[in-house]
Structure 1
Amino acid sequence: MKILIVEDDQMISESVGDILRMLDHQVVGVADNANDAIELCNIHQPELALLDIQIAGDIDGVELAEIIRDQFDIPFIFTTAFADNVTIGRARDMGPFGYLVKPYGVKEVNAAIQVAKASFDRLKKAERANANMSKIIDNSLFLKVDNKLVKVKIEDILFVEAKGDYALFKTKAKGYIVHTTIKKVQDRLENFNFQKVHRSFVVNISKIIDIEESNLLIDDKVIPISRANKESLISRLNLL
């Protein structure tokens, strides 16, 4: 596989590179910060990323994972020397395809990559199988809910919230749980005045009541806005 290494310790990045080459993988780049990692992704189109959580710069590995997932749609494995509950929790919520705690060796890296690739392939297969589950007709969305298709007007959707392997489509009257990803929701609805504002939320811009610093309000729901998505949201607002 073509693999990107994101690690701010040169000795560790060299060691990981040696392990990957020993396993017959291709190291397409090494970065110690998010900006360089994104540039390398654009240039080399890696098939997997090994992301250290504690990296140089203002964006840490967890925030970088969100960007890589949304922009490049490749699996990523977190690597870290810090295995505390808070770190594990943040990493888990991002939906990684693996987690390596330093120090690790050839066997651990190989197992993590094999599991990540298999999990990612299964996810892509499921997405293809479900590609036609939701259809847009006359500005309505057909959602597959409990083995039946439910017609929902797009303008009635307040927001969509990621719930693990599922997504909650929330209207004023009801919520619908659908097996899909937040990225797929974003791709399907971005032309209908919807905007991703957080790794777990896509919102109907016309339903926003107010925005305050890192949160917005829709109906009675306070929704977080991530730094990575705030600029895109503001650019779509009719500001005075």
Structure 2
Amino acid sequence: MEETIPGTETAQIAGQIPQQRGDSLPETAVRYAEERHWDVFPGTWLEAVDGVQRCSCGDAACAVPGAHPARDDWATQATGSATVARRMWQKQPTASILLPTGRTFDALSVPETAGFLALARMQRMELMLGPVTLTPDRRMQFFVLPGATVKVPDLVRKLGWSPASLDLVALGEGSYVAAPPTRFGARGAVQWACRPTPANRWLPDAEELLSPLAYACGRER
């Protein structure tokens, strides 16, 4: 069975997003390092406290429970070694899977509805797409080649927008994204809007995707 993301017309246009099933968090983290050559690092995890899923960080009001770094030195902890990744998740098998940006990829983060609108337009334009995630806090991250954080502000201005006017964020060095099947507390799991496949191993440049993304974010505004 597959599930659609309800509530928007653009979700129906973009198609269905498969549910996450099968592999455990440790197995998936190892596969990301081994098959995609992505750096990975374990984040926080969920713990049952009085029948409620709470973040291991101990903050009852945590904004992203179970889906943020557990250590301040997470950037140096991140590894592209499947062997090291396996060892790290053996210590805490329920830890979230986090991927640092600014290394093998950057990410363009937009609101969910804008992301689906842009995704449908990109498919009509037959643009090459990399992996795209959909998070329970209703945002989508489009994976692109590193260097997006430097390029995006000027590219947005050339399209006639002020960077501050659009909810379009480039995530590069010093940032990270949560990878499927990481859960955000009770809100659900991160999913793939576009799964990693052999066909999208080569990522697009931010410039190739920016026009449909900026247009969609402008409509959302």
TM-score range, shorter chain: under 0.3
TM-score (norm 2): 0.21
TM-score (norm 1): 0.20
Greater Rg over alpha carbons, structure: 1
Which structure exhibits the higher relative contact order, with contacts defined as CA atoms closer than 8 Å and separated by 6 or more residues?
A: 2
| Structure having the larger proportion of residues in strand | 1
